[in-house]
Structures are given as structure tokens and as C-alpha cells.
Amino acid sequence: MSTSRSVVKKVEVVETEEGAGAVVRRSIGSQQLRNVTPFLMLDHFHISKGAGFPDHPHRGQATVTYMLEGSSLHEDSAGHKGEIKTGGVQWMCAGKGIIHAEMPVSGEGIPDPRGLQLWIDLPKQYKMVDPSYQELDPEKIPEAYPQGEDGPVKIRVISGKSHGVESPVRPLGGCWYFHVIFKKPGTIFQELPAGWTTFIYLWSGALQIGSESEPHKPFHTLVLSAAPGENGVQLTATEENTEFVLASAEPLDQPVVQYGPFVMTSREEIQKTFIDYQLGQNGFEKAHVWKSEIGGR
């Protein structure tokens, strides 16, 4: 028996400036949608030439960067560097500390980078693990076709499981993350783990949730219910080229104390993070000596 979740909160997402000249639509992490445990932030970004996110630190969260158009370079203080291409993903666990830069690939005939960055809180016991990466090029992200390859819908399984297809990404704490693409109108049911926090961010087309009669329009974030017995969500695209991401993760029973890119569970831990960063220790050893090659582009 399939019982669908429903929309319990809906937020329209407007453009604002962020970083060095980047334009983002921020839903989770905004005043309207601050506490959606374990999700901390969701940005739909557009980075024009000369803009980007130069050298900056992180501690205590995972950041998931998924490119919709164009590509972005990244480089960190541990010597990790590379390029996230259109349709590719980088799942970075910042753990106890990392400093990195994220900068667009710009040039004549190259589309401006557009994508999504999702911040996910780490369970308290993983806050101080060593940083790690899970990265998939576009062709390595598995895809599910609930109604066959000739059907109306394709699901890119960034993490988790969908219609018998499973991603190799293994997040700390557990998180399912899908890019759902309806070429034509249609309906599917996506199973979800019981009790997990779930949201949808829609940027193209029109989408109905469960038994709703009115479809939602682009640039809205929808937080879904998690009542007992609701084992998934019914998704109905009412227009061609309906695209959205759906993310679901286990809620964390812990305080969230955030100061910019530092996310811990107490003010004392945040104060300790400031000290570690100032003194260049406990994950921030290169805080004052490392400078990225791409950050000054």
C-alpha cells in the first residue's frame, strides 16, 4: 500500500547576491526556512565570469555540489583539486576542517555555471572526522527509469535508492538525493525511509504532490510531511520538462549552532573552532599559509 506524503510548508525562492558576485536562490537557510534538520542550506546558484567563492573554511557539515550547467573548479588545503562538470556531483564531508575555493569555468561559448549546493549537518559523532570526498562524473551517476527508458521520467540517483537503482555515494548519517526529470507529464511514486525529513526544490515545469489538485510552479521549495505510514511521495508532473530535486535524510536530535561555514552543537564548540582556526590547528593547520591557485582567478 502506497501512502503519499503531503506539503506542510511552501517557500518561494528569490535571487540574492552571495560570495564574490554570484547570484543565488537560497531557500533552506533563509529566514523563511531555517530549521529543516539535518538540512542547513540549499542554494540554486548562477556564477558569471569573474564571480565565485574564493578561499573559505568549513567545519561540521557536508556540502553537496551538483552542476546543472557549465562546470566549476575546486581546490582545497589538503591538496585535493578537480572539476565538477555538468551533471556531476561532489559530496564533500568537511569534518573537522578544510579550506577550499570553488570557482567557475568561464570562457567564450561556455555556459555560465549553474547548479545546486546543499549543506547537510553531520551527526555529532562525525563532526571531527577527517575531511573526505565522494565525487561522481556525470556518466557515473546511476539513473532510474520507473516507466522504462521510453517513459516520461528519468531519475538521477545522486545518493540513496530509487526504483531498484542505488548510488555508490555513502553519506555519513544517511541521505537520499535525486534529480527528477519529467520530459512529459506523468505520475510516479517514490518510496522514502519512514520519518525522514524530505523537501523538493522545483525550478522548471509544474508539479503536484500526493492528491493535490493545484500544481506548484518553479522556484519553490516544498517541505513534506513525515507522518507514520507515509512510505513515500506521489509526484505528478503536469507540464513537459518538469525538473526538481528531492532530498530526504534522517533528522538529527541535536542542537544546531552555526556561525557562517562552521556548524557545531554548542557555543563552546564554535568558540573552540574559532581558536583552532586562528591558531591553525585541529584541521586548520594550513589556514594562514595556504592559498588556492584558482581563488584569485
Q: Answer yes or no: is pLDDT of 241 > 60.
A: yes
Q: What is the percentage of the chain residues whose pLDDT exceeds 90?
A: 81
Position 19 scores a pLDDT of 64
- Mean pLDDT, residues 132-136 taken together: 94
Rounded Cα–Cα distance for residues 148 and 141 (Å) = 18
Position 16 scores a pLDDT of 86
What DSSP string runs through 59-118? BSEEEEEEEEES-EEEEETTS-EEEE-TT-EEEEE-TT-EEEEEEE---TTPPPPEEEEE
Inter-residue contact 261 to 57 (CB < 8 Å): yes
For the annotated binding site for Fe cation, the residues are: 56, 58, 100, 102
Inter-residue contact 74 to 90 (CB < 8 Å): yes
Torsion of CA 206, 209, 212, 216, to 10 degrees: -30
- Mean pLDDT, residues 223-229 taken together: 97
CATH 2.60.120.10-classified regions of the chain: 13-139+260-289, 141-254
Q: Answer yes or no: is pLDDT of 6 > 80.
A: yes
Report whether CATH 3.40.190.10 matches the domain 141-254.
no
For the annotated binding site, the residues are: 56, 58, 100, 102
Q: Name the amino acid, one letter, at 117.
A: Q
184-to-75, 132, 174, 181, 241 alpha-carbon distances in Å: 39, 38, 31, 9, 6
Position 197 scores a pLDDT of 98
ω into residue 251 within 30 of 0, thus cis? no
CATH of 13-139+260-289, one of 2.40.50.140, 3.40.50.2300, 3.40.50.720, 2.60.120.10: 2.60.120.10
Q: Tens digits of per-residue pLDDT, 53-102?
A: 888 999 999 999 999 999 999 999 888 898 999 999 999 999 999 999 98
Position 34 scores a pLDDT of 86
- What is the Rg, in whole angstroms, of the alpha carbon atoms belonging to the chain? 19
Q: Give the confidence band of 20 by pLDDT, cuts at 50, 70, 90.
A: low
Position 247 scores a pLDDT of 98
123-to-59, 65, 105, 162, 234 alpha-carbon distances in Å: 12, 20, 33, 24, 29
Average pLDDT for the chain: 94
